[in-house]
Structure 1
């Protein structure tokens, strides 16, 4: 896949270098000098890249961490630009948690920050390539980029792979396990609490997985149409077919050929609904749905929580997503 946002610009790189020389200003996490546990009130000062990482840090870290997210609620995370203040704060953090391949500005800044306890969630599970499905065949952007995920100890890259691992509860649980272990190592004095919190979260995610498996087992159709092809892992996990209108980039405009393909697929698969998301424009979804005489609904990729979200946190929004899918797919 040739995704434009995965290519950091020279301007962003320059900002990173300049920003890292700036003094960190006070923030909600009150970043402080020193190592693990040097943050506000003696807590581990955690900086998370965007909501799915923030949720993990808060759930697993509990009362022992102070978490700041680089992506504010309502901001589309893929196109995030960091201020010099945010970049400076990265270097002052005790622990950085991010997902490489989602936010190029963050990838650049993390590489420059030099924080000892830096965790890339993409390293904690196996990434795969997902593209738009047409008549059962994957249509990838830039298919020459294979998933080059390798084992620990070897060079690890995943250029072109789908980064939306958090939308599969099973993969997200794998990431949670890895985050828990890394926090135990970063702050061994509270290792038992991190282990307990990790077990609690994994249990919730396992319950979510079982709910999806049961709720989507018998449906009138297995195909769903979405403007943002973020649900490849979820579709694969539960035997569904994702038909992305414009690929993994939520702001990309679909080609006329792709629109024609969606028209064909919608008829053959008996799709009922075109899904859109809360943090991106719904114009394409509504236009296509009108042309096809289909309904529209929200399928939230959970890249951020706002007052428009159908739930207060990851678990609640994923439950709402399940309800939306059951309705659209004709669950029995």
Structure 2
């Protein structure tokens, strides 16, 4: 069921959108993300909300589409704000790929755009309730966690960290592109099949690599790995919650320290797009190691890999080392 978000700012937003679309059509210069430069003649225009969906769209579309992301490399996607040009790109795109409830600004832009060619990935990969998939289920995250649950509708958006769910999204993108551009349907099917095979190999590597571990629990600052944990029989213990830059309370830090000792945890994980200070502080108090577990929300020069598959393999290696996997 499509959910339409209306608020008191709808009319000003719609006016901004219309004006922005005119500026875009007129070729107004700029470099603020999607639609900053035109594609080649005959190419589709695909707008992805952030990196994982950009990765899939680029791999499936190949040379037949120009794919742009609304979230720039190095930017934290959770709190994305759109420029007028980006809002306009949502209106004029041949296809928009996004996940409802993850980025409120994208949801609003889609709702106000009138664009009928949108793929909400949550319609093909249903989101699970927070804490339902691979997360240590205690009421320990506090008031900040409750606010996050309300903001995200009580659902965990991080489906892309399960390679099998990425395969489902790949098939949906293939079908959308085929419907839009049937002349290149064979190419889309071939590209999607190649990516699907790569994702199946990645899934097998995780299943094999995490099958014989000394411990199943892992602690991470960003509670983004519920789907991954559920898929591969692990238990995620989040320090904060969905927001990667939230500050844990002193009580929560004490609880995490206790849980680390109870589970024999050796490593506290941080990520690439936010400060590792919290992980380092907790690890330092307990004499534990720190490492990176990347939620693959964007690729930067500090990412341990140049694309989704490479970064996921680095995540596998980090989990194997931390959890004593043979």
User: Once the 2 structures are TM-superposed, how far is the Cα of residue 115 of structure 1 from its aligned partner?
Assistant: 1.6
User: Once the 2 structures are TM-superposed, how far is the Cα of residue 31 of structure 1 from its aligned partner?
Assistant: 7.2
User: Once the 2 structures are TM-superposed, how far is the Cα of residue 8 of structure 1 from its aligned partner?
Assistant: 10
Q: Indicate the RMSD between aligned Cα atoms, in angstroms.
A: 2.7
- Is it true that 1:49 corresponds to 2:43 in the alignment? no
Q: Is the 8 A contact 2:164 2:199 kept in 1?
A: yes
Provide the aligned length of Structure 1 versus Structure 2.
309
User: Once the 2 structures are TM-superposed, how far is the Cα of residue 290 of structure 1 from its aligned partner?
Assistant: 0.6
Instruction: Identify which of 276, 281, 290 aligns with 2:284.
Output: 290
Matches within 5 A, 1:238-253: 238-253=232-247
Unaligned runs of 5+ in 1: 1-6, 33-38, 147-157
* Aligned match of 1:58: 58
Give TM-score, length-normalised by structure 2.
0.87
Instruction: Identify which of 310, 316, 319 aligns with 1:322.
Output: 316
User: Once the 2 structures are TM-superposed, how far is the Cα of residue 19 of structure 1 from its aligned partner?
Assistant: 3.3
Q: Is the 8 A contact 1:43 1:64 kept in 2?
A: yes
* Aligned match of 1:229: 223
Sort the Cα spacing of 1:136 and 1:81 in 2 relative to 1 into closer, same or farther, 3 A. closer
User: Once the 2 structures are TM-superposed, how far is the Cα of residue 167 of structure 1 from its aligned partner?
Assistant: 0.2
Sort the Cα spacing of 1:136 and 1:73 in 2 relative to 1 into closer, same or farther, 3 A. closer
User: Once the 2 structures are TM-superposed, how far is the Cα of residue 48 of structure 1 from its aligned partner?
Assistant: 0.8
Match of 1:296, SS? strand
What is the rounded CA distance, in whole Å, between the counterparts of 2:261 and 2:320 in structure 1?
A: 19
User: Once the 2 structures are TM-superposed, how far is the Cα of residue 257 of structure 1 from its aligned partner?
Assistant: 2.3
- Is it true that 1:131 corresponds to 2:125 in the alignment? no
Q: Is the 8 A contact 1:289 1:296 kept in 2?
A: yes
- Is it true that 1:215 corresponds to 2:209 in the alignment? yes
Matches within 5 A, 1:300-319: 300-319=294-313
What is the rounded CA distance, in whole Å, between the counterparts of 2:8 and 2:269 in structure 1?
A: 35
- Is it true that 1:257 corresponds to 2:245 in the alignment? no
* Aligned match of 1:100: 100
What is the rounded CA distance, in whole Å, between the counterparts of 1:203 and 1:75 in structure 2?
A: 30
Match of 1:194, SS? helix
What is the rounded CA distance, in whole Å, between the counterparts of 2:17 and 2:249 in structure 1?
A: 38
- Is it true that 1:189 corresponds to 2:183 in the alignment? yes
Unaligned runs of 5+ in 2: none
Match of 2:222, SS? coil
Sort the Cα spacing of 1:300 and 1:223 in 2 relative to 1 into closer, same or farther, 3 A. same
Sort the Cα spacing of 1:9 and 1:268 in 2 relative to 1 into closer, same or farther, 3 A. farther
What is the rounded CA distance, in whole Å, between the counterparts of 2:48 and 2:183 in structure 1?
A: 22
Give TM-score, length-normalised by structure 1.
0.86
Q: Is the 8 A contact 1:184 1:190 kept in 2?
A: yes
